[in-house]
Amino acid sequence: MITVSRSHWGPGAVALFLALFLTVFLVIPVAKVIYVAFQDPNTGALTLINFIDFFNTSLFRESFVNSFYVAALSVVVASAFALPLAYFTTRFNFSGAILIQTLGVIPLIMPPFVGAVAMVLLFGQNGTINLLLDEYLGFTIPFMEGLNGVIFVESVHYFPFILINLSAALNNIDRSMEEAAQNLGASRGRLFRRIVFPLAMPGYVAGASLVFLKVFDDLGTPLLLNINNMLAPQAYLRITSIGIGDPMGYVISVILVTFSLLALWTSFLALRGKEYATVQKGGGGLMKRDLAGWEKAGCYAVVILILLLVLSPHIALTLLSFGTVWSFSPLPDAYTVQHYVDVVSTSSIYITNTLLYAGLAAGIDVVFGTAIAYVVWRTGLPGRKMLDYLAMGAVAIPGVVLGIGYLRTFYQFDVPFIDKPLASWWVIIVIALAIRRLPYALRACVAALQQVSVMLEEAAENLGATKSRTVRRVVVPLMTGGIVAGFVTSFATASVELSATIMLVSQESDAPLAYGIYEFMQSAAGRGPGAALGIIAVLIIGIATYLSHRIVNNKETERAPRQQSAAQGV
Amino acid sequence: MKRKDFLRAVSGALAALAVSALPAFAADLEGKLVIVTSYPPDTTVTIKKAFEAAHPGVEVEMLKKKTTAGIKFLQETAKNNTSDMFWASAPDAFEVLKADGLLAKYQVKVQGIPEKVGAFPINDPDGYYKGFAASGYGIMWNTRYLKAKKLPVPKTWAELADPVYFGHVGMSAPSRSGTTHLTVETILQGMGWEKGWGLMKSISGNFKTVTERSFGVPDGVNSGQFGLGIVIDFFGLSSQASGFPVDFLYPPITTLVPANIAIVKNAPHPKAAAAFIEFLLSAKGQEVLLDPKIRRLPVNPETYAKAPAGFPNPFKDKSIGAAVKFDLDKSKGRYNVVNSLFDVLVTYRLSDLQDAVKAIHDAKAKAKAKGKSNAEAAKLIAEAEALVAKMPITEEEAGKKDVNAIFKKKRKKADTKITGRQAEVEQQWDKEAKANYTKAKELAKKAAGML
């Protein structure tokens, strides 16, 4: 018989509540989706026939191959963007390194489909670049044709995941390893191959697998580029045009989930069995060296080129938001501020909704993240690891699947007093966002908790503090940096989320920004205002992110141990 | 804001209690109106503002759904209906809802609306839905694009199949957009099933893309991503009014159909819903349709006096939309089959179709350039064209009830037996289409080799 000590009651109740929440809002909806995939559409009996249909349909096979191809190539292209930026800024004495790192994260805070609209204007077949190329050089480059466009847009949007993780990994490499290698006479090339590259691997793999997952699941970008032959759009198209009863949408969902889990597992396998932690700390980060003049010029040229490329959606969006008519010409015909005036007067509801939803979701995430981290790392509750896996598992659930699952599970369930189904109440959007971003916050909280010594807690308890008092007065305050970092990542990424919300928004007054922009982009007169709304979104999220970073940094300088940065290791 | 919602809900519940206890006092409108609509905010916001100004105290809530998604939404929520009205373009969508018994009858009080526009009755003869504007389908183009690429302006659907337009045309899919469904159905009814699909597929061979949303087409033409688009008139007219260098025309085979509005059965706010219909059909409501952001053809002939110069007037210009008499029952009977056929044969097989059509274009061009007649090559080209045009099912089959049942996903009863699954049927069609397109390409290449 397991005896549960009295001090376990508090954490036990918290763990139970968390498990219940995750079961209701993650496990059951996903299980419902999986269940329908195995049901005969006509009789309701359990069957594998839908999967046989899936693999017999050449369209679905093609979609599968296309999704895989796009995700894999996006990782390659995103790496090409991220590697030089990460390496140059951590390895060399490079003025503007902070600025470069900051600019490199900006693509993440724009909804990828907005980026798609903007990039078509710049790189499309009759976009700025190609019109100029055609006029002066007589040829064009198919940047945006078919799957190329999806790969291009996705890698620009998601490469910061690799940049953040890889920079963090490079900064954490112990300098003494490098010194040892140099003392033993290793050349620069050998040093890179045998020391820097292998030690940076965990960060790179973490970022790359995240990019793979995100691209594999993304819905908005292929839809905006009119690419149908991929898995996520097929699932969405089946469900919205044939109906919530069509089994193929669910089969596709199951396949999406399976492959996302597989990608996570592969990245886990790739790192297993190797020891990456360096024991003693001989000083953080690699030795930075100075560059020779011509080297410096070359590096800057590469960095500026990459930054121009990855910031091109923002450049195009800015032009679009100030432009009057932009049609088959390299630049807009004229400029105006009217779109901003329109948007501010009519669309403040989208902005307040977004701040409310993303704020609530990120709040839930850090509270739950802290609680889960504490339960998993500081208590001996049975099954506590399951809680961690469950919460992390959310990263592998595509937004479309979660959206479909919520519609299916909560449509029958009426909220008391509100008199409408839970699936069409705005709170469900907050819950969906919270579940989808929980893994980000959880990783940040775990990292922060691991840096708080258990001895401090023991000391507090020896002095007579209760468990809850210890958590409130000692653990949480010491974790603040990590918690804020988790909040920022969850908030910023939740603000631009579309794939789950597009299925769950049931009325305009509940719609968040990303949805509002999507709606604006559906009418001739709405492109400018939509772009203006996009720019406002980027600014607001950017400012919110910057402010919280400031808070984190202040906290960090107050206390000696450095907190790990937000998105790393998700 | 959210708290206000909550309070409103509570006070609503209290009010409901009070009303059920007392005899209702008539005349006054309800404080709320929920409209499921496929229209963009430019249209809905403008009309909502005008309506709310005319009826202060009523708050209109627009639920934006694609037409097809809107039908699904009303079907799924019928048991627990919270919507008052359905407001969209395609009359066949209303027919689907009517057949499902999801609409309520309503008698309009406003005077001055004629019986017909073009060859089409404006209101549902059974009294379930009302036309508030007319829409026709046509071709819009980007004038800068056509000038730069030196392309002529096409006047008919058939001209869009011309080789010069290869890669320059855009359209949406009927399964994604109710208006596109009407366009396809109009061509099928105007030219017949076999010929209609044949033309549809040769035009599709010239497609640059099949857009996911109906607005994707005017958007692509406006920004110049492709030069020509097959669209509903107000997309062309409102884009032009927004300043884009575009133009629009009606080809001869088009139909003017009313865009409609109906009250949903068991609407929670029936009086406000009735007031909305009356407003939309009043002189004031009809005038709002001429707003540059909306630009739809009013159904009240007198409103055209206030229209800008050059605005099409179907009540004067009898050539618009008179050629095809649109058969709604036929359209309704094969709604899902036509959607699925288009997706399988065109949307998802676009690159195979393009390759086949391109090969045929090339072979024909070569034959013309060489100027010599090669009977065998001509025969091969004709065969290739026939393969591209070939349909997996006949018109008669497409209209059959049991075929359509496969594409209806809602089982009425657990024991309803349907033979065949949609995925199974589509997979068969897809296999045939792919084989036909590949063969057609080979034949055309072979013919070109002979010349």
Could you give the CA distance from residue B28 to residue B19 in angstroms, rounded to a whole number?
A: 13
pLDDT at B20 over 80: no
pLDDT at A564 over 70: no
First vs last C-alpha separation in chain A:
37
pTM of the model: 0.80
pLDDT at B118 over 80: no
Please tell me if residue B83 touches chain A, with a CB cutoff of 8 Å. no
β-partners of residue B116 are: B121
Q: What contacts B34, CB < 8 A, 6 or more positions away?
A: A507, B61, B63, B82, B83, B84, B85, B268, B269
Number of other CB atoms surrounding residue A43 within 10 Å: 14
Q: Do B426 and A57 touch (CB under 8 A)?
A: yes
8 Å CB contact between B398 and B341: yes
Distance from CA of A532 to the nearest CA of B (A): 16
- Residues A212-270: tens digit of each pLDDT: 988 988 887 888 888 888 998 888 888 776 666 678 888 888 888 888 888 878 777 77
Distance from CA of A324 to the nearest CA of B (A): 8
Q: Do B41 and A56 touch (CB under 8 A)?
A: no
Query: Can you tell me the mean pLDDT for A74-83?
Result: 94
Number of other CB atoms surrounding residue B139 within 10 Å: 24
Residues of A in contact with B144 (CB under 8 A): 327-329
Q: How confident is the model at residue A541 (pLDDT cuts 50, 70, 90)?
A: confident
The pLDDT value recorded for residue A459 is 86
Q: Which residue has the higher pLDDT, A154 or A564?
A: A154
Could you give the CA distance from residue B93 to residue B70 in angstroms, rounded to a whole number?
A: 9
The pLDDT value recorded for residue B205 is 94
Could you give the CA distance from residue B178 to residue B173 in angstroms, rounded to a whole number?
A: 9
β-partners of residue A49 are: none
Query: Hey, what are B418's tokens?
Result: 């349907």
Q: Which amino acid is at B267?
A: A
Residues of A in contact with B3 (CB under 8 A): none
Please tell me if residue A556 touches chain B, with a CB cutoff of 8 Å. no
Q: Which amino acid is at B296?
A: R
Residues of B in contact with A520 (CB under 8 A): 41
Residue carrying the six token digits 């932009």: A326
Residues of A in contact with B34 (CB under 8 A): 507
Query: Can you tell me the mean pLDDT for B132-152?
Result: 92
Please state the φ and ψ torsions of residue A271, each to the nearest 5 degrees. Answer: -100, -10
Please tell me if residue A345 touches chain B, with a CB cutoff of 8 Å. no
Q: How confident is the model at residue B73 (pLDDT cuts 50, 70, 90)?
A: confident
pLDDT at A38 over 80: yes
pLDDT at B350 over 50: yes
Residues of A in contact with B241 (CB under 8 A): 524
DSSP state of B289: T
Q: Which CATH superfamily is domain B25-132+259-306 in?
A: Periplasmic binding protein-like II (3.40.190.10)
Instruction: Please tell me the least confidently modeled range out of A36-45, B160-169, B292-301, B442-451.
Output: A36-45
Query: Can you tell me the mean pLDDT for B105-124?
Result: 85
Could you give the CA distance from residue A143 to residue A156 in angstroms, rounded to a whole number?
A: 13
Could you give the CA distance from residue A232 to residue A388 in angstroms, rounded to a whole number?
A: 27
Instruction: Please tell me the least confidently modeled range out of A193-197, A329-333, B269-273.
Output: A193-197
Query: Can you tell me the mean pLDDT for B402-418?
Result: 60
Could you give the CA distance from residue B152 to residue B86 in angstroms, rounded to a whole number?
A: 40
* Closest residue by Cα to residue B248 from B115, B378, B139: B139
Q: Do A417 and B13 touch (CB under 8 A)?
A: yes
Could you give the CA distance from residue B97 to residue B277 in angstroms, rounded to a whole number?
A: 18
Residue carrying the six token digits 């407003």: B279
Query: What are the residue ranges of CATH 3.40.190.10 in chain B?
Result: 25-132+259-306, 137-254
Segments in A311-381 forming alpha helices (H): 312-322, 338-346, 348-378
Residue carrying the six token digits 């349709």: B289
Q: Do the interacting molecules here have an ipTM over 0.85?
A: no
The pLDDT value recorded for residue A3 is 44
* Closest residue by Cα to residue B87 from B110, B119, B61, B113: B61
DSSP letters, A44-111, are --B-SHHHHHHHH-HHHHHHHHHHHHHHHHHHHHHHHHHHHHHHHHHHB--TTHHHHHHHHHGGGGS-
Distance from CA of A410 to the nearest CA of B (A): 12
Q: Which amino acid is at B293?
A: K
Please tell me if residue A420 touches chain B, with a CB cutoff of 8 Å. yes
The pLDDT value recorded for residue A387 is 87
| Mean model confidence pLDDT for chain A | 81
Query: Can you tell me the mean pLDDT for B206-220?
Result: 90
β-partners of residue A222 are: none
The pLDDT value recorded for residue A287 is 67
Q: Do A527 and B219 touch (CB under 8 A)?
A: yes
Number of other CB atoms surrounding residue A470 within 10 Å: 20
Q: What contacts B256, CB < 8 A, 6 or more positions away?
A: B117, B118, B119, B120, B134, B135, B136, B297, B314, B320, B321
- Residues A133-181: tens digit of each pLDDT: 988 988 888 888 889 999 999 999 889 888 887 887 787 777 777 788 8
What does DSSP say about strands A420-421 and A414-415: parallel, antiparallel, or unpaired? antiparallel
Of B10, B42, B211, the CB nearest to A525: B42
Number of other CB atoms surrounding residue A564 within 10 Å: 20
Could you give the CA distance from residue A231 to residue B146 in angstroms, rounded to a whole number?
A: 35
Please report the domains of chain A, with CATH numbers, ordered by start residue. Answer: 11-38+337-570 (1.10.3720.10), 57-336 (1.10.3720.10)
Burial class (CB in 10 A: 0-12, 13-18, 19+), A363: middle
- Residues A107-136: tens digit of each pLDDT: 887 877 788 888 888 998 888 999 999 889
* Closest residue by Cα to residue A523 from B141, B39, B225: B39
How many beta-carbon contacts under 8 Å exist across A and B? 179
- CA A448 to chain CA centroid, Å, is 20
Please tell me if residue A561 touches chain B, with a CB cutoff of 8 Å. no
Query: Hey, what are B29's tokens?
Result: 């409108």
Fold of B137-254: D-Maltodextrin-Binding Protein; domain 2 (3.40.190)
Of A324, A419, A522, the CB nearest to B243: A324
Q: What share of chain A is helix, strand, coil (3-state, %, to 5)?
A: 75, 0, 25
Please tell me if residue A241 touches chain B, with a CB cutoff of 8 Å. yes
Please state the φ and ψ torsions of residue B105, each to the nearest 5 degrees. Answer: -75, 150
Q: What contacts B3, CB < 8 A, 6 or more positions away?
A: none
Query: Can you tell me the mean pLDDT for B217-244?
Result: 90
The pLDDT value recorded for residue A241 is 67
Query: Hey, what are B327's tokens?
Result: 């058969």
The pLDDT value recorded for residue A506 is 72
Q: Which residue has the higher pLDDT, A8 or A396?
A: A396
Compute, in degrees rounded to 10, the torsion defined by CA atoms A498, A502, A504, A506. Answer: 130
pLDDT at B415 over 50: no
